[in-house]
Structure 1
């Protein structure tokens, strides 16, 4: 073996060692980079897993909270007072947030459109006045010359459309409370733009009733306890038998027990000046309220009732210092008598001293002034009878007669005051669907003065009425 061969063999291990020494750091560096990459990926995976676990925990918490809320609502619904019988809830929670829990709210009324043509013998009823809207005997013109009557005139209106709201509540102990308010669009204030028939025909809301009741007690404005609303005829006109009808709504305090009811009601005195020298006026001087008492009996046959009224009249003349008082009393007997399933008779007989403003929308005065300024109550009488017949569930007819008369002392009132009025009414009402009425009514009315002058009214009236 030569020296070169030996040297060659010695160089190979050395070269291998040198080569290893040179490659080892690179391999070590490569291993370190992969580990770091793997560690980074593992850390990223851990973060993603942690995020998933956190989202799952939040979702689970929300589910638990929702289940708890549902359980609370279900428990509250079970604990809430039951809705009174006959009252169906329109939503799961009360719509009367300020009312006692369990209060039932109700709403109703009707839309009524009236169209009428009127012919009066002694001049026209003033345009825009109440007599153009419904039969009002005091509005019938009376004059000496019937040639002034002119042509008939027509009126359309919807002012008697009505709505009401009621809140009824019964306590756990059985006490019954009611709050009721009712309004229409007749009698509201007018101005140049409101209530005119030139363009807008808009009318103000007018309060009819507003009262609260607690068991047997009632406080607020409603029909007078002296009036029998249940005996009113089925008329197309607002009232129909206005002449003989007691018709008053006013503030009062009323107590009802069984068939008996008693009330203290808002007082007012109407006065006709001596010899009718000036317009009738209200004094507003009363101290004592009007007192009423009523007894009622009813059954399948209908109902019968008797009512009494006691009043004080007062007028204080501030200019002269004169203070005059007078008293009055009246009686009303009324009812409804059913004749089989298709017919009924409705009636009323009313009379007394100082009945004036209660009868026929104040056709007569409560009192008249004497020459010395003292007051004298005027006697008045009135009544009506109405027959109702149903041809079928969809068609019915009514025939009515009413009258009123006043025993005026002509030495005090003069001869220009109303002595009497009377009217006839006949109608047919068709109801093609429940709550929808389409009616037509013929009316004849007459007003007569103490000097025997009289004026007549002839009217044909139609209406479309939908109750809800």
Structure 2
């Protein structure tokens, strides 16, 4: 973090604005539903370019397209004004081919997902990331009533890179996740939690996606996956018909390889609380205070505090 990154900084944006289209038709195989949505978080010179958020179709038990990974619990994500949410959360959108079906209170899902390996290479001029196989995810979710469930998911992937001279090196990656959501009371107060652990799953984790922490080339021809642990808990009380809040704590621990430099991320903490006011059903005003801390392998660390004000319209 340089000096230019420190100190107070004010920003206004409408990048969270999302547009979507959804339609359906009846077919011989059952209802066909298509969904396309987009927002303004694309990378570009404007810093707010239009990007595809989700684009998928569902027919019967099959889903194909760009969607949130099966290796997460989307319903348990807390309602934070912070667009990213807790950094220890599993959060990744990618192209998937998913089978999902319910058997009484049990939902079973199995998906093949686009591999997006996030590797740290020792020499990018002579090494290149390879994607020989799709990521495979399975999930079981037990419905305990409206707004109540327990979910478990597992992930298997193959991390690989190619080196000049015809040599290809690979290492397996894997992960396991357990989450739950519990809703109670007349107004619908919620509590949710998630814990995950794995090796080579950095690309699926909010705080470390893009940091090359799936796996690291630690010696010529030797690739090692990086383990990580993440947990978050949230409670979202409904104070009244028009007032609600969410309070969230997240913790992420990374176990870097010995060959990685001292400024490699080691752990993060995330703490947030907000107050949401909805004078009418489709309008919400909110304020949120966030605290975050990063610690590196060499012991260096720093804190950040952010105050967010937001206005949301749904129509």
Q: TM-score, with normalisation over the residues of structure 1?
A: 0.62
Rounded Cα–Cα distance in structure 2 between residues aligned with 1:283 and 1:345: 43
Question: Which residue in the other structure is 1:304 paired with?
Answer: 150
Q: In the TM superposition, what whole-angstrom CA distance separates every residue of 1:202-235 from its partner, at most 9, and x where no partner exists?
A: x431001111111111111111111211011011
Q: In the TM superposition, what whole-angstrom CA distance separates every residue of 1:125-181 from its partner, at most 9, and x where no partner exists?
A: 4xxxxxxxxxxxxxxxxxxxxxxx3x301000001100110111124x571101111
SS in 1 for 2:203: helix
Counterpart among 41, 46, 52 of residue 186 in structure 1: 41
Counterpart among 379, 393, 397 of residue 227 in structure 2: 379
Counterpart among 141, 147, 168 of residue 24 in structure 2: 168
Rounded Cα–Cα distance in structure 1 between residues aligned with 2:169 and 2:285: 51
Q: 1:328 to 1:467 in 2, by over 3 A?
A: same
Q: Which has the higher strand share?
A: 2
Q: Which has the higher helix share?
A: 1
How many residue pairs get aligned? The number is 306
**What do you get for the CA RMSD once the two structures are aligned?**
2.0
Q: In the TM superposition, what whole-angstrom CA distance separates every residue of 1:397-440 from its partner, at most 9, and x where no partner exists?
A: 11110011111122x11322000111110100000111111000
Question: Which residue in the other structure is 2:312 paired with?
Answer: 465
Q: Check whether the contact 1:268–1:285 (CA below 8 A) recurs between aligned residues.
A: no
Q: Check whether the contact 1:122–1:456 (CA below 8 A) recurs between aligned residues.
A: no
Q: Check whether the contact 1:425–1:441 (CA below 8 A) recurs between aligned residues.
A: yes
Cα distance, 1:346 vs structure 2: 1.1
Question: Which residue in the other structure is 2:60 paired with?
Answer: 215
Do structure 1's residue 456 and structure 2's residue 303 form an aligned pair? yes
Question: Which residue in the other structure is 1:250 paired with?
Answer: 94
Cα distance, 1:301 vs structure 2: 5.6
Structure 1: gaps spanning 5 or more residues:
1-120, 126-148, 197-202
Large movers: runs of 4+ above 6 Å: none
Q: 1:450 to 1:361 in 2, by over 3 A?
A: closer
Counterpart among 107, 112, 116 of residue 268 in structure 1: 116
Cα distance, 1:124 vs structure 2: 4.5
Rounded Cα–Cα distance in structure 2 between residues aligned with 1:283 and 1:254: 29
Decide which structure has the larger Cα Rg and report it.
1
Once the two structures are superposed, the pairs formed by residues 2-401 of structure 1 within 5 Å of their partners are 123-125=3-5, 149=6, 151-171=7-27, 175-190=30-45, 195=46, 203-241=48-86, 243-258=87-102, 259-274=107-122, 283-298=128-143, 299-300=145-146, 302-317=148-163, 319-342=164-187, 343-363=189-209, 365-401=213-249
Q: Check whether the contact 1:232–1:239 (CA below 8 A) recurs between aligned residues.
A: no
Q: 1:239 to 1:303 in 2, by over 3 A?
A: farther
Q: Check whether the contact 1:240–1:425 (CA below 8 A) recurs between aligned residues.
A: no
Q: 1:283 to 1:260 in 2, by over 3 A?
A: farther
Structure 2: gaps spanning 5 or more residues:
none
SS in 2 for 1:357: helix
Q: TM-score, with normalisation over the residues of structure 2?
A: 0.92
